[in-house]
Structure 1
Amino acid sequence: MQDAFAILLAAYHPSIRLLGISTVFGNAALEKTSQNACSVLTAIGKSHSIPVYLGASQPLHRPPIHAPTDIHGESGIDGTPLLPKPLVGPDLSLPAVEAAALALRAQPPGTAWVVATGAFTNAAALFQTYPDLIPHVAGLSLMGGAVGGGFTPAVMGTVAGVPRVGNWTQFAEFNVLADPEAAAWIFDTVALAGKTTLVPLDVTHLVLATEEVQKKMLVELLFFFAKTYRDVFGIMEGPPLHDPLAVAAVFPGMGADDIPFYDADPVTGARERYQVTVVTDGTIEEAHAGLKETGRTVVRLLSPGEEGVRIPRGLDIPKFWNVLEECIERAEDVVGAAL
């Protein structure tokens, strides 16, 4: 569901041209996540214009993990019969990394963004394989990680009575924990970190899908997630909408259809940038047992003027919902005209 909204926002926002989608292991196995992406494109009338490529089936240096079925369902996007069978399957002519490199090089320098809403494996592999693309792209936007410590007033939830920073272990968010080495490489690569935006759980949990916004084409998926977040995390206000925020964060924030994100000190107005360190020590099992903090993102505020990772503290939430609803309406118009 999260990826579905991210795809829809990218496909129908008037300021974005979605060049392609690379799938990655995560909510389910690669075969299923690829099927899901193709199904979403079919549902929104974009199956013939936006290609899907198969990305990484496992992390850089670890065995793959998948999100639990009580969050995303067996298929990774359970909870609705609305999504059709794909009209077009994945493009198997090129691996995702090579396809992404070709698409990015075809754009003018400083214009194209790479957005990762799952494990960061594809993004890390892309820039490791083609480091010349780091200065070429406009930026990298990542949904993942968690700061904690009151970074925002977001509801982070509790499990078994224990407050959490992460959503997979007490400290780790799923996308980072799924491939901590990929995340660490991105944040440790200074040239790339300086043009990276990280949208952590502290921000995504500000955008809760309350009853007022549970509507339109993907309403059944939102209801599925709403029950999950009540039952698993004890968050009663509604499910947070994570992945579309990584798409929204690439907008300049000045246009009529852009969504302002706030990345300045609320008192001084000074721009804030961060050094991000990922804990790679330990195994997933040790992290679950509370023995290690594997996958934790540790942030340090840099001195004014230093280049580092942009981590917004908030956004214009009503504007986000308005823009997303407008994108849904555009999709409905396209799909309706084709019927």
Structure 2
Amino acid sequence: MTSLIIDTDPGVDDAFAIALACASPEVDLLAVTTVFGNVPLESTTRNALRLLALCGREDVPVARGAARPLVYPRVQEAEYAHGSDGLSGRAHTLPDPSRDVVGLDAVALMAQILRDAAAPVTIVPIGPLTNIALLLAAHPSLHAKIERLVIMGGGLSGGNTTATAEFNLWSDPEAAHRVLVEERVPTVLVPIDLTFACRVDRAWLSRLVAAGPLGATLAGLTDDYVAHYTKFFGYECTILHDAIAVAEAIRPGLLRTKTYPVEVDSTFGPGRGTLIADRREPDIIATFGAKQARALDIALETDVDEVRAFLLERLATG
């Protein structure tokens, strides 16, 4: 059994990720915590509550987290891809939740869960890393209670928000630097290089719709998202970024990693929010006397058909 906390900014792909965790019998979903991101915090929190209601998991506590980055304000959200409510304007099609957020904020709830856990817990951050940076900074004694972080974010071959920066890291580069560079908690980073490769087409979504009411409802949330990625790739498809990270958390090793020293650009130039991985051979790095950055496990390969089949199998039976 995998004990899991999801830190999220729903978001269409976040909806699939939450549903995947709820539909997986080997997962003990301990909490969902929310953060600003695709849309403002009020909307991401409401969407998380509604998604858990859809999945019949209102027993899972939801806590509200950071409404803004650690230091500097952002200049945009992701309504261009996710719609004004984060769910392609279709959030109203989800059930109204019967429960509200718990009395603790996101960091306090995660800390309480870690403190009380009999075994280490996996945390899956699939939005900006603000909550996670705060957790790691405020509770260093709890680092050992984290099995690993499985983070969706970054891109080695380019960005989706700027030429070089991916949305989650760009949204709070200072938090991303803290989590990915300064800390030493076991971490797998799932970048857009891999999530783009795992994109699903209209035929996959049609099979999901035919599988049952949960799949049909999830697919119904994708209109704006599909339209966005259709322009990007030139055919009808969508990217389930965050669900790929949750899949790895559920089935460790589903994604194959390579380990590289990394940095996150937190300057104010055109590279702000960029993940920089040093892919040179270690002896080359040593030859030039370069400072050794943190070595991070980055998921860059997988059996794409296996990932698509796994997602469809779980979401079709959820």
Q: After TM superposition, is the score higher than 0.5? A: yes
CA contact (8 A) 1:23 1:30 kept: yes
1:220/1:260 Cα in 2 relative to 1: closer, same or farther (>3 Å)?
same
Indicate yes or no: 2:144 matched with 1:166.
no
2:230 alignment partner in structure 1 = 230
TM-score by length of 1: 0.79
CA contact (8 A) 1:172 1:297 kept: yes
CA contact (8 A) 1:53 1:96 kept: yes
Indicate yes or no: 2:275 matched with 1:297.
yes
Total equivalences in the alignment: 287
Indicate yes or no: 2:202 matched with 1:191.
no
1:50 alignment partner in structure 2 = 60
CA contact (8 A) 2:164 2:271 kept: yes
Tell me the distance in 2 between the aligned counterparts of 1:293 and 1:120: 18
Q: Percent identity?
A: 32
Indicate yes or no: 2:187 matched with 1:201.
no
Indicate yes or no: 2:18 matched with 1:7.
yes
Indicate yes or no: 2:239 matched with 1:246.
no
Q: Going by fraction, where is helix more abundant, 1 or 2? A: 2
TM-score by length of 2: 0.84
Matches within 5 A, 1:23-34: 23-34=34-45
Indicate yes or no: 2:275 matched with 1:275.
no
Deviation, 1:245, is: 1.3
Tell me the distance in 2 between the aligned counterparts of 1:106 and 1:22: 17
CA contact (8 A) 1:6 1:243 kept: yes
Tell me the distance in 2 between the aligned counterparts of 1:138 and 1:40: 26
Q: Secondary structure of the equivalent of 1:138?
A: strand
Q: Going by fraction, where is strand more abundant, 1 or 2? A: 2
Q: 2:241 is aligned with what amino acid?
A: H
Matches within 5 A, 1:1-339: 1-47=12-58, 49-80=59-90, 82-91=93-102, 93-109=103-119, 111-148=120-157, 165-192=158-185, 195-214=186-205, 215-216=208-209, 217=215, 218-231=218-231, 233-236=232-235, 238-253=237-252, 260-263=254-257, 272-282=258-268, 292-301=270-279, 303=282, 308-331=295-318
Across the aligned residues of Structure 1 and Structure 2, the Cα RMSD in angstroms comes to 2.0
Tell me the distance in 2 between the aligned counterparts of 1:279 and 1:34: 29
Tell me the distance in 1 between the aligned counterparts of 2:18 and 2:251: 19
Tell me the distance in 2 between the aligned counterparts of 1:136 and 1:65: 35
Deviation, 1:34, is: 0.2
Structure 1 unaligned blocks of 5 or more: 149-164, 254-258, 264-271, 283-290, 332-339
Tell me the distance in 2 between the aligned counterparts of 1:228 and 1:249: 25
